[in-house]
Every structure is written in C-alpha cells, then in structure tokens.
Structure 1
C-alpha cells in the first residue's frame, strides 16, 4: 500500500503535501493559525515529497503547498521539474507561507516562473489595501473571501487580469510608517491563481501570516 493510500484509508479528508525544503525555526509559531486551519480540513504529509509527486496519478496528493522558497533554488531543479509535471497533469500547487521571504527577486525570480510557463515577475514589496476580483477566478471558489483587506506582500507583475485574485484600486496607497502614502501599481497582485495544463498554480505573497491571506490559501488548495 502506498503512502498516500495509507493516509487516505484513515480519513476522508483531502491530502495536502507540505513541501518544506528550507524550513525556518519560526515558521510553526508564526503560521500556527494557518497550520491549524489546514489540519482541520486536510490530511497533511511532509515526507517523501518526490515519491508522492511522481507516483501514479491515483496515488498523488490532492494538492501541494510549497511553504518556503527551497523549490526555487538551483539544487532543487530536478524536484521542480517533477512538481511542474504534477501540476500540468492535474495537480494543484500553491506557493505561499514563507516562500516570498527567501525568494530571489529580479531576473532569477522571473526565470523561476518562466519554468512553469507563466510570464509572472517579482514586483513591488509593500503594504496596501487590495480588492477581490469581481469577475471571479477560474477554478477558484471565492465565496467567503474578504472583499478587501490590507496586506504586506511581495506583489507579482505581468499577471493576466483574469488570474489576479486581489488587486489594488486607484485609491490604494502605500501604507508605511516610513514612506509617504504614494500610489501603487494597480496591475500588480499579491495573490495569483491560474490554470496550468490540467491543473492549477497559485501564489500568495503575504509575509505577515494575515488571516485574510490564509483564507485565500485554503481556497487555492480547494479546502
């Protein structure tokens, strides 16, 4: 019996693989509410990542949540290829948690997303108020998500408008104790979700474990 079959036999909950390659010591404390929400809705696995990702489709986890940027590093290139294949063959992969805190910016970050086949680019890093896409997002149940909230995040640029879960408005301003309340790029998004082959790729750039961002992550994981 496979690892996934063993987990599935003990519960009817969806199976979510936590992909953790560069875990930080503060992660469990900082993201305690998010981990509790995941545990309440899914069976979590944090072991044998490659075996689960490359297993037959019927034995794979329902979704994979990459909670750090380890998968974006050169030493993880082989695993990344398996992860992309898993996604394109019908899996769901969400990049979030502590991912953005150690993610390479600029050209390296753009190259990482290009490997997935998306044109996303690392954008600005700031806090502002963002608003839920009123047109909805393909494959994402947005019911129960906050209509708007303030989030400090690494935003993404060059994301198709139909894949921007949240975006700033023309009235949104940078929220900072140091910098002036300047206008922000309304074409950038802190949360993106798009179809990739037969599956889905999600990104949440939240860096402060906001409750509203946790709701987005749960929805992206179909929980």
Structure 2
C-alpha cells in the first residue's frame, strides 16, 4: 500500500535574511521530515504557487507581507486563509518589523493586536483558547521559556501561550520583575473559514518547533 502523500507547507520569505535557514535549521528539518516544504522568496513566486496549489499551511518567516509592494501577495494569502487555510506569522517577523507597521498590519486585518513588551519569561498553553477544528491540544508543549515580542490587546480566546502565574522577567543583566499577565506570546484568530497565528518568539527553540509543527497539523 502506498504511503499517504505528504502535505505541502509554504515558507513565505519575501524579505528573507541570509541567515534564516541556518538559524532555524532544526525547525526546517523537522517540517521537511513530515511535509513537503515549498519556498517562495518573491511576490511572483508566491502568486504563482498559490494560484496553482493549496498548502496545508503558510509560514510567513519575515516582515515581507507588511510591505506595500507585496500587497497582491497579502490579498492572495488572505483569500487562502478566508477559504480555510492557516497562516502562521513568526520567526524573523517580530525582530524585523517596525512597531508602527506591526500595529497597522494587524489592525488592517481587523484584529485588536498591538505590539507589547519584549523580554524573556516562562509561558504555558492556554486551555481556553480557540484553535482550528481538529487540532490536537495534547501536542502542544508544556510550559517553557521564550524571549518574545508580546501582543497586547488580544481577546482571551485568542491567547494561545500566556505567562505562567507569577511569571517574572528572565535576564542576565536586569533584576526580575513581574510581567504583564494580560499580554501573550502566541495568539491566533479565526479569519473567515481559516486561522491566523502570530508567534512572538524571537529565538529558535525546541518548544517553538513543537508549537509550529502542531499548528501546521504535523
């Protein structure tokens, strides 16, 4: 009996940094072991692929979708999401997106998400969040430490990973301070029939790999 065909995962890297693949080699290798990785590094490449294929998920690895010159790609991606697709925005996005652009980008999508604090602390999965239908909550990692650009303003059901109770900042330089429990590291929202996720983790970490794989249905 033939093995089931692997799903396609599109890595959308419209503003790709040359060190992306080295930094996230473990994540990319784990995705490629479970799915067919497709790459789009230009607007034309992304439009051509999405006109012909429907990937299981799109992983936007940088701030490219925020650039006005990539407006047609954003519209194509949003059409994919509204029709049941999953868009995960992360990796280099938190580090390379201007904060005013960050707020406008999500605001234009009708989401109340604003950029929040930037620090490391320990987070846990929020069992009260809303996820895409059929996604296994059991596959998400337990509590783990992340350095993130938080989101503030997310609604309770949009918060996927939140600070653990009594969480404090973790720094080699500054003394610990209690964190804002209202902010979140990873958030997600329904858009049409699909789902959009922002992952604020700025460092490659095993916990993040598990989150990305789970969200991609792998």
Same fold (TM over 0.5): yes
> Which whole-Å CA distance do the structure 2 matches of 1:53 and 1:119 have between them?
27
1:16: which partner in 2? 9
Partner of 2:75: 81
Cα distance in structure 1, aligned partners of 2:97 and 2:187: 16
Is residue 2:170 matched to residue 1:165? no
- 1:144 Cα offset (Å): 2.7
* TM-score of the two chains, using structure 1 as the length reference: 0.88
Q: 2:111 aligns with which of 105, 112, 118?
A: 118
1:45 paired residue number: 38
Residue 6 of structure 1 corresponds to none
Contact 2:129 2:156 survives alignment (8 Å): no
Structure 1 partner of 2:177 = 182
SS in 1 for 2:139: coil
Say if 1:192 and 1:203, in contact at 8 Å, map to a contact too: yes
* Contact persistence 1:11–1:43 (CA under 8 A): no
RMSD: 1.7
Matches within 5 A, 1:30-41: 30-41=23-34
Match for 2:89 among 67, 78, 95? 95
Distance 1:116 1:152 in 2: 25
Deviations 1:31-78 (A, max 9, x none): 0100001101111111421123244xxx31121110111111222122
The runs of 5 or more residues in structure 2 that have no matched partner are none
Could you tell me how far 1:141 is from its partner in structure 2? 2.2
In the comparison of the two structures, how many residue pairs are matched?
A: 210
Scaled by the length of structure 2, the TM-score of the pair is 0.90
